[in-house]
Chains A and B, each alone.
Chain A
Amino acid sequence: DIVLTQSPGTLSLSPGERATLSCRASQSVSTRHLAWYQQKPGQAPRLLIYGASSRATGIPDRFSGSGSGTDFTLTVSRLEPEDFAVYYCQQYDSSPLSFGPGTKVDIK
């Protein structure tokens, strides 16, 4: 099974700052089968990025994804007030589908 690790656990930033979130896989995720989700309290997750770097429909271009192999990054170029949330990565390279434990981005 592929185990995903996310760092940091919590990221405290101010609006307008850049957020860089890391997702590391226990083995190589071939063909970039990695997605990122945003979840706010009391809401379902929302798809942000798939294929490691493709933005989902309606996602602002301040969100970008990069990486390959075992190391992936989600970057939010300038944090807006609505971006403070928990972010999860998910691999779909092999069964079982698995999620990372999440990174919480909160207001400094």
Chain B
Amino acid sequence: QLQLQESGPGLVKPSETLSLTCTLSGGSISSSSYYWGWVRQPPGKGLEWIGSIYYGGSTFYNPSLKSRATISADTSKKQFSLRLRSMTAADTAVYYCARLINDFWSSYPTYFDYWGQGTLVTVSS
């Protein structure tokens, strides 16, 4: 059974860079069937897709983040990571890592079938 676990700081200062890591157990990042991604949810609000990565290195990002996000993967460690630069209070949220199904026809991430439990990141000085 696949499990995903987020790790990283719970508190980040304004203007700093957030670094989060998602570690897999019971599965492999190196599968052509999946993408791996990040979703966030501000307290009491809805879900926002941040971006996704394929083990071969292809990445897709939400333009709403204005190029502040970078997602990378380390297949040997079974981890993928998110870096989000220039953090502000508006970035305070629960951050989830998740697995997405790969659409083989278009090689594009689709829907999320496994999720981590989420980690709350607060931006405050």
Contact = CB atoms under 8 A, between A and B. Distances in A.
Interface of A: 33, 35, 37, 43-47, 50, 56, 88, 90, 92, 95-102
B108 A95 contact: yes
26 contacts: A33-B110, A35-B112, A37-B47, A37-B112, A44-B96, A44-B118, A45-B112, A45-B115, A46-B115, A47-B113, A50-B113, A56-B113, A90-B112, A92-B103, A92-B109, A96-B62, A96-B63, A96-B64, A97-B49, A97-B52, A97-B62, A97-B109, A99-B46, A99-B48, A100-B46, A101-B46
A41 B118 CA distance: 12
User: Does more than half of chain B's interface fall in helix, strand or loop, or is it mixed?
Assistant: strand
Interface string B86-125: 0000000000101001010000111111011110000000
